[in-house]
Structure formats: structure tokens, C-alpha cells
Amino acid sequence: MMILLILTGRTGLSAAASPMEALKNPIETVLSLLKDPKYKDPDQRQQQRDKILAITRQIFDFTEMSKRALARNWKSFSPQEQLKFADVFADHLSNSYMDKIQGEYKGETIIFLGQEMVADGKALVTTKIQRQPSDISVDYSMLLVDNQWRVYDVNIEGVSLIKNYRSQFDQILVKESPTQLIERLKKKVEVKIGN
Amino acid sequence: MFLPGILAVYSAESPAARASSSDDEEYLDDAAPRITVADPLYVLNQAVFDFNDKMYFWALKPIAQGYKTVVPTPVRRGIQNFFHNLGSPVRVVNCFLQGKMGAMASEMCRFVYNTSFGILGFWDPAKDYPHLNPPEEDFGQTLGFFGIGNGIYLVLPFLGPSTLRDTIGMGGDYFITPMTYIDPAALAWSLKGEETVNDLSFRIGQYEEMKDAAIIPYASFKDGYLQYRKQKIDQ
């Protein structure tokens, strides 16, 4: 009896929040940070940015995103290159994401439409942003890793972020080496920081 | 005797064991086949892409920014609604051609509603009724609906990414667009220009963001366009 209790306590499968719940809180926190008048001042932008990035680092699984963006090319990267790539790709994605929301977000409402269990440990959470003249659909593909739901792809109006990067990386890796691709990404990130 | 059995069950359940087996090839299987289109006119397309890029920063963006400063937002929204309403015939006909009768009816209702209660379409009261806002159709999508492939990738001057099918689609829609029949042609063109600048005034910054997010803008825009159109055809 006691052993049974230990087993169920340890595996804790029921403890994982649903994918939609796992996504809702971070997104709502990010939105409130964006709407917070405290950060209206351009000097405060970096602080706002850092706070938001801390949240996105938790909810996005950048390693998974890197794997899928490289697909078959992932295996041809050395473990060191894989780490470096995931790191710099994460920075690049975070920067692009930050630019987009800090630039575009003007207080729109985000509606969580629902979630769909695609497979064991995989789910799709659908949302839409209420905007003029028409709403924008944003879907999050999520993976259950270590009992946590995290995002591995974002689909905006039918365009998958990961597929879009894959088409670019495939093209680059035909002629260039993994190190060269990593350098390219590094340069993009550095230009941003220089700004 | 009892204990090893329980420990075996316990360790099989642990996250570490689960992760290493699902980890390996799964990220490869996940990929739905990528949408690709032949690009034999690559050299020309790239040149037009670069031309469009320059036109955006040198001409279109400054004009749209000036316009945005001068024209108040509600007025710009009204103009946007007005032109969107004028696009109804194209949407109605293409819903019909695809046999989407429900959507066609919705489009017609929306047109009537917005033209009357929305005063010639300057207001969009129909947007509060989701069933009056079906996915929008055009002739390129109609051709795609009937299984006609993209053909080849094209980058059109000013208009941007397209494919052979979608360009032919635009040609087809040209004949059911009310503005086509406005005389003199110069007026029709300046109205088209107005519509474009007005729309752009809401989207300043989007092009720059997409370009910045990309490692190879040409490839990114091509892939994005193809994915976007596929989604629209599937709707």
C-alpha cells in the first residue's frame, strides 16, 4: 500500500497543467508587462524586454525548435555546434519576438480558443488576436517534456515559424558549414544589440 | 522478490526513460512535407525583390508615414472599410465557383449590411457577427481549390511574392473588380494608389520586422507566402 502511494506520488502524471493553462499564465503576464504604463518611457524598454525574455525562456523550448528548424541537418552538427546553434538561435528568436511585440502590440485582446491533443505529449493551442480589420490566428504547438508543456512552434495565419526557418537553413547549409550558419546568426544578434 | 518488480515499474515510468526513447527521431517525423515551388526565374525574381525593397524604403514607406500623420485614424479605417467592401464581388464570385454557398451568402449579406448600415461601406458593422465574416476567397485560391498547382514562383514589381497561378488569379479577379470599370483610367489608378497607401499606413513596420527576423529574406518571404496561400486554399 505504502509502496503504491510512493509510486503515484513520484510519477505525478496528473500534476502537469494542461497545455492551454501552461501557456495562458505566461502570455497574460507578458501582455500585462506590455500594457504597464511604468514601461512607457524608452529608457525602461530594456527592463521591460528583460522581464519578458525571462518568461519566454521558460515557455519556449529552444532546443526543440533548433532541432526542428535544422531537421536532417541537426545530426550533421557536432554536439558543440548543436549547443552553440541552439543558444544563438534562441537569442535571435527572442530578439525578433521582442521587436515584434514591443513594436506591434497596442493593447489588443488575445482569446484562447482551445487546445487539441495531437498525440501523446503533443498538443496544439489555438488563439486569436483581436485586431482591425481582421483577427489574426496564432497557434502554438506544444510538447510535454519533463512534465512541463513548452512551445516548439508558432503558427501565425497558417505560417509555421519553424518551417519558415527550415527553408532558409536548408538553403544555407547546402553551401555553408554549420559554423558559418552559427556565425550568420551571431551577426544578426550582434547588430540588434548594437542598436 | 517483490521489490525488484516494483522498482522496474517505477523506473520505466520515470521521465528520463521516457524522454530518451521519444527524443531521437521524433523531430524528423514531425515535419509535414514542406511546400516548395520551382523558381526558374530566380535571378529575375531576386532583382525584383531587391527593387521592391528599395521602393518600400525610398518611396512607399515615407509616403505612407506622411499620409498617416495627416489623415486621422478613424478616417483611414473608414477608407479601408470602404475599399474592402468594394472587394465583395470578387469574394462572392469565388465562393460561388468553389461551391461554398454558405460563405457566398455570408459575403452577400455582409456587403448589403455594410453598404446600407455602414454607409457605403465606410463602417463595418458586420464585423461583430462572426458568421458574416467567412474566410476570404480570390481567384488564385479558386484555381488552387481545383487542384491547379502553383506553377513557378514569381516576385511581382510592387505587388511582391506571387506564383504563376496566383498571378493569373489576379488577372481573373481584375474583371470582377468594380474599380476596373471606372473611367477615366487615371482615376481608377489613383484610387488603387489611395487604397494601397491607406492599407500600408496601418502596416508600417511589418515588412521591416519580417525582414529582420529572416536570415535570407528572399527565401523567408517565398516560404511564408506559399504557406500562407496553402492555408487560405485549405479554408
Q: Long-range contacts made by residues B140-148, C-beta under 8 angstroms, separation at least 24?
A: B140/B165, B140/B166, B140/B167, B140/B168, B140/B169, B140/B170, B140/B229, B141/B94, B141/B98, B141/B169, B141/B229, B141/B232, B141/B233, B142/B94, B142/B97, B142/B98, B142/B169, B143/B168, B143/B169, B144/B229, B144/B230, B144/B233, B145/B98, B145/B233
Q: Is A5 left (phi over 0), alpha (psi -120 to 50) or beta?
A: alpha
Maximum distance among all Cα pairs of chain A, rounded to whole angstroms: 62
Res B24 pLDDT > 70: no
Answer positive or negative: Cα dihedral of A62, A67, A69, A74.
positive
Contact state of A133 with B84 under an 8 Å Cβ cutoff? yes
Nearest-by-Cβ selection for B219 from A96, A132, A167: A167
Q: Which residues in chain A have Cβ-Cβ distances shorter than 8 Å to B230?
A: 158
For the segment A62-104, what is each residue's pLDDT rounded down to a tens digit?
Answer: 999 999 999 889 999 999 999 999 999 999 999 898 888 877 8
For the segment A7-60, what is each residue's pLDDT rounded down to a tens digit?
Answer: 444 444 455 689 999 999 999 999 888 888 888 888 888 888 888 889 988 899
- Closest residue by Cα to residue B155 from B230, B57, B94, B226: B226
Q: What CA dihedral angle connects A83, A85, A91 and A96, to 10 degrees?
A: -150
- Residue B7's pLDDT is 46
- Residue B189's pLDDT is 87
Q: What is the pTM of this model?
A: 0.85
Measured CB to CB, residues of chain B less than 8 Å from chain A are: 6, 9-10, 13-15, 19, 22, 27-28, 30-32, 34, 77, 80-81, 84, 124, 127, 133, 202, 205-206, 209, 212-216, 219-220, 222-224, 227-228, 230-232, 234
- Residue A44's pLDDT is 83
DSSP character for A18?
Answer: P
For chains A and B, CB pairs below 8 A equal 93
Contact indicator for B227, A160 with CB cutoff of 8 Å:
yes
Contact state of A68 with B30 under an 8 Å Cβ cutoff? yes
CA distance B157 to chain A (A): 23
For the segment B150-182, what is each residue's pLDDT rounded down to a tens digit?
Answer: 999 999 999 999 999 999 999 999 999 888 888
Over residues B46-61, mean pLDDT? 96
* B15 vs A134: which has the higher pLDDT: A134
Residue B33 φ/ψ, nearest 5 degrees: -55, 135
**Mean pLDDT over each residue of chain B, to the nearest integer:** 87
Three-state DSSP class for B138? coil
Contact state of B220 with A72 under an 8 Å Cβ cutoff? no
How many alpha carbons fall within 13 Å on the CB side of residue A88? 21
The DSSP line for A117-174 is: EEETTEEEEEEEE--SSS-EEEEEEEEEETTEEEEEEEEETTEEHHHHHHHHHHHHHH
Task: Say how far apart CA A11 and CA A15 lie, in whole Å.
Answer: 9
Over residues A138-142, mean pLDDT? 95
**Mean pLDDT over each residue of chain A, to the nearest integer:** 87
Contact state of A133 with B214 under an 8 Å Cβ cutoff? no
DSSP character for B136?
Answer: P
Contact state of A145 with B27 under an 8 Å Cβ cutoff? no
Q: Which residues in chain B have Cβ-Cβ distances shorter than 8 Å to A171?
A: 216, 219
Q: To probe the interface with A, which of B26, B27, B234 has the most A CB atoms within 10 Å?
A: B27
The DSSP line for B15-35 is: HHHHHHHHHHHHHHHTPPPPP
Give the percent of chain A with pLDDT over 70.
90
Q: Which residues in chain B have Cβ-Cβ distances shorter than 8 Å to A166?
A: 31, 34
Over residues B93-116, mean pLDDT? 94
Nearest-by-Cβ selection for A11 from B13, B28, B230: B13
Residue A99 near chain B (CB below 8 Å): yes
